[in-house]
Amino acid sequence: VQLQASGGGLVQAGGSLSLSCATSGSIFSISALAWYRQAPGKQRELVAYITSGGTTNYTDSVKGRFTISKDDDKTAVYLQMNSLKPEDTAVYYCNAERDLRPYGKYYVYWGQGTLVTVSS
Listed as own residue / partner, the contacts of 103-112 with beta carbons closer than 8 Å and 24 or more positions apart are 107/1, 109/1, 109/2, 109/3, 110/3, 111/3, 111/4, 111/5, 111/21, 112/3, 112/4, 112/5
Q: Are 101 and 29 in contact (CB under 8 A)?
A: no
pLDDT of residue 92: 98
For residues 79-89, average pLDDT: 98
pLDDT of residue 22: 96
Main-chain dihedrals φ then ψ at residue 27, nearest 5 degrees: -75, -15
pLDDT of residue 29: 87
pLDDT of residue 25: 87
pLDDT at 28 over 90: no
pLDDT at 26 over 90: no
pLDDT of residue 73: 85
pLDDT at 62 over 90: yes
For residues 78-94, average pLDDT: 98
The pLDDT tens digits of the residues spanning 3-14 come to 999 999 999 999
Which has the closest alpha carbon to 84: 22, 7, 3, 32?
A: 7
For residues 92-118, average pLDDT: 94
For residues 48-72, average pLDDT: 96
Q: What is the mean pLDDT of the chain?
A: 95
3-state secondary structure of 99: strand
